[in-house]
Amino acid sequence: MNFTKLTDHLKLATDRLIGFKPEPYELHEGHGVATESIYKMVDQFHELFQHPRRVMPTPELLRLRASLIHEEAVVEGIPAAMNGDIEQLLDAMADFLYVGVGTMVAIKGGISTGMTYYTQEQSIDRFM
């Protein structure tokens, strides 16, 4: 673990001990605006096509979302990356982003729960 990751992990651990809850995207300023606009765009898509929006998840909904994620990431994205097909990879990842954010739109509490956890815990290990 490099020094930056270590200090960020210590900061988050200390914040938890004293009960401080940092704002989402505190570790990477400016990312919240982009995520919010993508979320709004996908939310409008769900509204227009009458897809689920902020509902309690059912097994059927979760299976559907898993199937869509699998299709875009595993069936299309990974082969495109392995074959060096940048155009297909970017297409698959754009679809994957829509499907992933669509999952957060569909499930009640999805955006606040999912993105707060991601930005505070996982971004340290993945991006630093």
> How confident is the chain (128 residues) per 10-residue block, as mean pLDDT?
65 72 52 70 91 91 95 95 94 92 85 56 56
Count of other CB atoms within 10 angstroms of residue 44: 12
The three-state secondary structure class of 94 is helix
Distance CA 127, CA 77 (A): 21
Please answer whether residues 28 and 126 qualify as being in contact, where contact means their C-beta atoms are separated by less than 8 angstroms: no
The three-state secondary structure class of 109 is coil
Report the pLDDT value the prediction gives residue 25, as an integer from 0 to 100: 47
Report the pLDDT value the prediction gives residue 27, as an integer from 0 to 100: 46
Mind listing the domains of the chain with CATH numbers? 3-127 (1.10.3420)
Report the pLDDT value the prediction gives residue 126, as an integer from 0 to 100: 57
Please answer whether residues 106 and 94 qualify as being in contact, where contact means their C-beta atoms are separated by less than 8 angstroms: no
Whole-angstrom CA distances from 115 to 35, 37, 39, 75, 121 are 9, 14, 11, 25, 10
Report the pLDDT value the prediction gives residue 119, as an integer from 0 to 100: 53
pTM for this one?
A: 0.61
